[in-house]
């Protein structure tokens, strides 16, 4: 992935998202000084899988996709199903991948990347419950998988590792290590 000085990363929030997967990614990327846009797919206030309400920065339909340098999808059910239905998001994923910019997904959300047609022949991981949905991919049970500009991860238990991989991809290993130490992860 090409390194860009100022990153603008989209994290879409759909009803039923997984809390930890979304918020940890937002938190650590912001610690790395990326501009992270929390965008509600259908509303500014979005309820998670366990009814935690999050107030987003904007609506997905109002995001200027031309300014984005990456997208990170939290999983969760029915959050992933709701992300899958969003054509605006699908177009953003395809466009960012074509530009070799960051595309990340955790838990069940890699299925959204698969449905967008960007995973063929790539190494990928996901939550075990959706592992059989990646025909034509090089499926791995590794906790975090990086394949070029695409980063995938297994679930809530890998959220910090996933977010640190995102940070390393956006900045460098030293920055990711410094953040890991600051949050007592190393």
Residue 158 CA to residue 25 CA, distance in Å, equals 11
Domain count, the chain: 1
Residue 148 lies in a domain: yes
Q: What angle do CA 9, 146, 23 make, to 5 degrees?
A: 40
Q: How far is the C-alpha of 127 from the C-alpha of 111, rounded, in Å? A: 10
Q: Tell me if 32 is assigned to some domain.
A: yes
**Six-digit token string for 60:** 């997905």
How crowded is the C-beta side of 181, counted as CA atoms within 13 Å? 6
107 classed as catalytic: yes
CATH number, position 136: 3.40.50.880
Q: Which of 7, 15, 56, 127 is catalytic?
A: 127
Give the β-pairing of 123-124 and 35-40: unpaired
22 belongs to a structural domain: yes
| Mean pLDDT of all residues belonging to the chain | 96
Q: Check residue 186 and give its pLDDT.
A: 72
Residue 115 neighbours by CB under 8 Å, 6+ apart:
84, 90
For the segment 14-18, the average pLDDT, to the nearest whole number, is 98
Its pTM stands at: 0.96
Give 153's DSSP letter: E
Is 73 within a domain?
A: yes
Q: Which helix (H) or strand (E) holds 77?
A: none
Domain-located, residue 186: no
Mean pLDDT of the 78-101 span: 98
pLDDT of residue 12: 98
Torsion of CA 17, 18, 20, 26, to 10 degrees: -30
* pLDDT tens digits along 126-144: 999 999 999 999 999 999 9
Catalytic pick from 41, 56, 107, 137?
A: 107
Question: Residues 30-35: what's their mean pLDDT?
Answer: 96
Q: What is the pLDDT of residues 41-56, one digit of tens each?
A: 999 999 999 999 999 9
Is 183 within the bounds of a domain?
A: no
Catalytic, 21? Answer yes
Between the two ends of the chain, the Cα-to-Cα distance in Å is: 25
What range does the domain containing 54 cover? 8-178
pLDDT at 47: 98
Strand partners, 102: 70
128 lies in a domain? yes
| Cβ 119 vs Cβ 135: under 8 Å | no
Category of 184 on φ-ψ map: left (φ > 0), alpha (ψ -120 to 50) or beta: left
Paired with 151 in beta bridges are 104, 146
Q: Which of 19, 21, 161, 168 is catalytic?
A: 21
**Helix axes of 19-31 and 159-170: crossing angle, nearest 10 degrees:** 30
Read off the pLDDT of each residue in 10-37 and give the average, rounded to a whole number: 98
Report yes or no on 184 lying in a domain: no
Average pLDDT over residues 148-153: 98
């Amino acid at each position: 992935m090409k390194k860009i000085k100022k990153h603008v990363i989209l994290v879409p929030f759909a009803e039923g998202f997984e809390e930890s997967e979304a918020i940890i990614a937002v938190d650590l990327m912001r610690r790395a000084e990326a501009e992270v846009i929390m965008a509600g797919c259908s509303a500014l206030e979005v309820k998670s899988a366990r009814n935690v309400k999050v107030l987003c920065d904007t609506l997905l339909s109002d995001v200027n996709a031309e300014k984005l340098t990456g997208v990170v999808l939290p999983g969760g059910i029915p959050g992933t199903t709701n992300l899958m239905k969003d054509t605006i998001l699908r177009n953003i994923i395809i466009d960012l991948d074509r530009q070799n910019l960051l595309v990340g997904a955790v838990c069940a959300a890699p299925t959204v990347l698969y449905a967008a047609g960007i995973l063929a022949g790539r190494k990928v991981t996901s939550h075990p419950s959706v592992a059989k949905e990646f025909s034509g991919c090089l499926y791995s049970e590794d906790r975090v998988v990086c394949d070029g500009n695409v980063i995938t991860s297994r679930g809530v238990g890998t959220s910090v590792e996933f977010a640190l991989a995102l940070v390393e991809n956006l900045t460098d290993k030293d920055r990711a290590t410094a953040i890991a130490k600051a949050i007592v992860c190393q």
